[in-house]
Amino acid sequence: MNKEAKTLLLSNPKRALELAIKAEQLSQQINDEKSLAESFFSIASAKWRLGMLEEAEEWTKKAIHLFEQLGDVGGLAQATQGLGIIYRKKGLYSEALQMYQQALQMARTVDDKALIANCLNNLASLHGALADYAKAMECLSESLKMYQSLNDDKGEAGALNNFAILLSITGNYTEALEYYQKAFERFEQVSDYVGMARA
């Protein structure tokens, strides 16, 4: 159920939340702590997408605590990045930066290239929000290369779109337009209509 909940997070967060709660109950019944930690994080992810940031923060911290107890560095990295996202949405940029950096370090430790790319993409977005455009471009460059090496079209599209946003902010409109077009094409390839609208 956790996997199904994750696939619905963007398209139907309410349904994802329902499934994550059922997964949590089932995990407790069968005493599966790894699935329980994943359920906590799925619940948190659905709640922040529904704008319930305080509740999402509580559930994420529960997930972090359980992933730590289990010694699951990959799960811990994902949940830590999730806490960074929540802090960013709450406007707590220094806390978000700290969480993203910790998550990136953990992702590198377990050599999870997809998670490393996601962490770098989130770091780039945060550095952009803080007007540190050089650092944002550096993180995006590394993230884009990683997504390309993984053949992750959706991740690549997101990174291309973030490049376009940064280029627009810094006044490089012609180059930004090129990146928006590339992002749109990648989003179109994976039928990501929300991404296409953003690009």
68 and 90 part of one domain: yes
58 and 143 part of one domain: no
16 and 77 part of one domain: yes
The DSSP code for 73 is H
| Number of domains composing the chain | 2
90 and 132 part of one domain: no
pLDDT tens digits, residue range 71-82?
999 999 999 999
116 and 180 part of one domain: yes
pLDDT, mean of residues 165-174: 94
Is the model's pLDDT at 183 over the cut of 70? yes
Is the model's pLDDT at 175 over the cut of 70? yes
Q: Which domain holds residue 175?
A: 112-199
Which residue type occupies 71?
Answer: G
Please state, as a whole number, how many other Cβ atoms lie within 10 Å of the Cβ of residue 105. Answer: 14
77 and 141 part of one domain: no
The DSSP code for 131 is T
73 and 116 part of one domain: no
What is the pLDDT, as a whole number, of residue 73? Answer: 96
70 and 137 part of one domain: no
pLDDT, mean of residues 134-142: 95
Q: Where a domain ends, among 72, 88, 104?
A: 104
* H or E element that contains 22: helix 13-29
Only one residue has tokens 């650092």, namely: 135
Who's near 64: CB < 8 A, 6+ residues apart? 76, 79, 80, 83
Q: Tokens for 144, please give them.
A: 């884009």
Is the model's pLDDT at 134 over the cut of 70? yes
pTM for the full model? 0.88
Torsion of CA 175, 173, 97, 63, to 10 degrees: -80
Q: Could you give the CA distance from residue 67 to residue 40 in angstroms, rounded to a whole number?
A: 10
Of 59 and 199, more confident: 59
Average pLDDT, the chain: 92
End-to-end Cα distance, the chain: 32
Q: Tokens for 96, please give them.
A: 């978000």
Q: How confident is the model at residue 11 (pLDDT cuts 50, 70, 90)?
A: confident
What is the pLDDT, as a whole number, of residue 1? Answer: 60
142 and 184 part of one domain: yes
Q: Where a domain ends, among 59, 76, 104?
A: 104
* CATH code for the domain of 44: 1.25.40.10
pLDDT tens digits, residue range 97-113?
999 999 999 999 999 99
What is the pLDDT, as a whole number, of residue 192? Answer: 73
What is the pLDDT, as a whole number, of residue 195? Answer: 72
Q: Could you give the CA distance from residue 162 to residue 197 in angstroms, rounded to a whole number?
A: 14
